[in-house]
Amino acid sequence: MAHAHADACLMADPLRLLADRLAPAFAAVAGVSADPVVRASDRADAQANGALALAKTLGRNPREVAEAVVATADLADLVATTEIAGPGFINVTFRDDALASLLAGVAAGPRLGARPAPAAETVVVDYSAPNVAKEMHVGHLRSTVIGDALVRMLEFVGHRVVRENHLGDWGTPFGMLIEHLLDLGETEASRELSVGDLDGFYKQASAKFRNDPAFADRARARVVLLQGGDPETLRLWRELVDESTRYFDQVYELLDVLLTDDDLAGESRYDPLLPEVLRRLEAAGLLAHSEGADVVWVPGFENREGEPLPLIVRKAGGGFNYATSDLACVMDRVERIGATLLLYVVGAPQAQHFQMVFSVAEMAGWLRPPARAVHVAFGSILGTDRKMLRSRSGAVLKLVDLLEEAIARADAAVRDKNPELPEERRRDVARAVGSRPVQYADLSPDQVRDYVFDWDRMLAFDGNTGPYLQYAHARIRSIFRRGELDPASVRGVRPVLGVPQERALGLALLGFDGAVADALDTFQPHRLSTYLFDLATRFTEFYEACPVLRADSDEQRASRLALCDLTARVLASGLGLLGIRAPDEM
Ligand code: ARG
């Protein structure tokens, strides 16, 4: 047992441990290293499928290869039985005592078994990034929520994380926005902006820009003043930025995300670096000129007509753009911050922009291994009519309204479920339940697909929802309350996996390690949601089959309580990584 226990300090996932034991055996049989391809299985605890591919390369019979691997591997302390099935699949059942030891290690160890990052890196996470004086839309909500979960998970496994809220706070629209602010008068303008009427403000400004030539001239002159650093213009610009950030902060507060004003790193911050971007591209011989603009030709990109597509870095009129600013960002993040991983949590429609920016940064030598950039893309949020999510009046949905409605609905749902809960408590729970399901609804479906936002599903207490998981956690905590027991008193107990439901729950608990790793490898927090739902389901099955407070013996009772406690801790910790609070009572 010493062997399995030593591994457990590093990681808890028996599938990973099995893969690590099988890998040398595959290598010995093959003469080269080969992936054992270990997965969870319904036939046994785990299945290793690697023999099939290996046999093909070796030109041998896959079942024979599988048998040779099993004969060679050092499995005795971890594995109870192996069986070769079908075309060389290795079905594995773990030893109960090995699982129990791993569980004891998880209960006592840090991070509930989740393995630390193999190498701690500096990671910049670019997320949320709404635009000043424009409504923050549900896409920004999704970015905020996914980014927040990634930040929490990356920190959890030991990375140094730098959060950057790349606010759209610079560029030509600010000419018209400032002129509109002056037309309205500063007091009236700031009133409109502070109540979050950002969309109306922006629309009025752009309508005037289109229809009123004198206004358009003023707006253009204002852009020149802004770029020239005119103090009065900068003061007005600041006012727009500050009023908008005040509004964004209200949304962040309701969401309980980690973002603060210290994380603001808007486009304006990179403005001073833009001439340097051009200078370096020129020096590297990458800058070309096309139709009056400065561009970089990026191999492999074409427009709809199939013609080569360049990345424009200075428009024909001389202005820099979104791409220039993102190139400056890459430079800054790698060179000043020292990041080796750059994550951009931005909607899927911007995929081409990021591919081109990253390619240019690589061509220019700013992004060199180990430094790399990843666009963490996500799909749109749709209403139940499968169209863009809108408010009832058909207007653009304001996020504060959405969140406040969610909290109100959650309050009613909690009152329904537990009328005894004191008012104060209920409000707190409603907040945890209400703003968070928006989050959970966001984190549970496949990230790159569009998803349908449905109030009823979101607040349901059953199914793969945030409230279901929060409720599962609170229910476990109530077992300890009813038994007047301190959960800490069972934390040293080594569980006994007697009946199948105990064993299944134990295996599920050990999966936390792999689930966190998987969510981080793919940058898809929803994979952790799926795991937590599975864990809660295993717990329900266990709880239906196994009396806890009225177990047969003191020993059995302590063992079951230990499983309960560990489940509650994994649920709370997993939800916490998704940015969702888990109240003790609901
Ligand atoms: N403000 C942009 C938008 O609303 C998103 C910015 C994302 N981050 C970046 N570095 N480009 O679409």
CA 545 / ligand 1 centre spacing (Å): 50
Which atom of ligand 1 lies nearest, measured to the CA of 134? 4
Rounded to whole angstroms, how far apart are CA atoms 417 and 412? 9
Which atom of ligand 1 lies nearest, measured to the CA of 139? 4
What would the mean pLDDT of 532-551 be, rounded to a whole number? 96
Strand order, beta sheet including 122-126? 160-164, 122-126, 341-345, 372-376
Rounded to whole angstroms, how far apart are CA atoms 376 and 514? 20
Q: CB within 8 A of 566, min separation 6: which ones?
A: 103, 106, 107, 112, 495, 509
Q: Could you tell me the pLDDT band of residue 4, with boundaries at 50, 70 and 90?
A: very low
CA-proximal residue: ligand 1, atom 4 (nearest): 130
CA 266 / ligand 1 centre spacing (Å): 9
The single-letter DSSP state of residue 61 is -
CA 506 / ligand 1 centre spacing (Å): 43
* CB atoms closer than 10 angstroms to residue 217: 12
Q: Is 282 a residue whose pLDDT tops 70?
A: yes
CA 273 / ligand 1 centre spacing (Å): 18
CA 168 / ligand 1 centre spacing (Å): 7
Mean pLDDT of the chain: 90
Which atom of ligand 1 lies nearest, measured to the CA of 131? 1
Which atom of ligand 1 lies nearest, measured to the CA of 326? 10
CA 393 / ligand 1 centre spacing (Å): 28
Pocket test for ligand 1, best of 269, 346, 353, 378 (most atoms within 8 A of CB): 346
- Cα→Cα distances 13→89, 511, 523, Å: 20, 6, 19
Which atom of ligand 1 lies nearest, measured to the CA of 353? 11
CA-proximal residue: ligand 1, atom 6 (nearest): 129
Which atom of ligand 1 lies nearest, measured to the CA of 347? 12
Q: Could you tell me the pLDDT band of residue 277, with boundaries at 50, 70 and 90?
A: very high
Which atom of ligand 1 lies nearest, measured to the CA of 354? 11
| Orientation of helix 198-211 relative to helix 173-184, angle to 10° | 100
CA 330 / ligand 1 centre spacing (Å): 13
CA neighbor of 66 nearest in space, from 104, 25, 8: 25
Q: Could you tell me the pLDDT band of residue 410, with boundaries at 50, 70 and 90?
A: confident
Which tokens go with 492? 């040293």
CA 314 / ligand 1 centre spacing (Å): 18
Which tens digit of pLDDT belongs to each residue from 107-145? 998 899 999 998 999 999 999 999 998 878 778 888 999
Which tens digit of pLDDT belongs to each residue from 65-108? 999 999 999 999 999 999 999 989 999 999 999 999 999 999 99
Which atom of ligand 1 lies nearest, measured to the CA of 346? 7
Rounded to whole angstroms, how far apart are CA atoms 83 and 194? 67
Which tens digit of pLDDT belongs to each residue from 181-230? 999 998 888 888 776 677 788 889 999 999 999 999 999 999 999 988 99
Pocket test for ligand 1, best of 140, 166, 330 (most atoms within 8 A of CB): 166
CA neighbor of 447 nearest in space, from 578, 263, 258: 578
CA-proximal residue: ligand 1, atom 5 (nearest): 129
- The pTM for the full model equals 0.92
**Are the C-beta atoms of residues 34 and 25 closer than 8 Å to each other?**
no
Residues paired with 390 in a beta bridge: 396
Q: Is 374 a residue whose pLDDT tops 90?
A: yes
Rounded to whole angstroms, how far apart are CA atoms 309 and 291? 13
Phi then psi for 79, rounded to 5 degrees?
-115, 135
CA 489 / ligand 1 centre spacing (Å): 49
CA-proximal residue: ligand 1, atom 11 (nearest): 326
What would the mean pLDDT of 260-284 be, rounded to a whole number? 96
Which residues approach ligand 1 with their CB closer than 6 A?
Answer: 126, 129, 131, 166, 168, 326, 329, 344, 346
CA 346 / ligand 1 centre spacing (Å): 7
Q: Are strands 46-48 and 160-164 parallel, antiparallel or unpaired?
A: unpaired
CA 269 / ligand 1 centre spacing (Å): 14
Q: Could you tell me the pLDDT band of residue 5, with boundaries at 50, 70 and 90?
A: very low
Rounded to whole angstroms, how far apart are CA atoms 572 and 456? 24
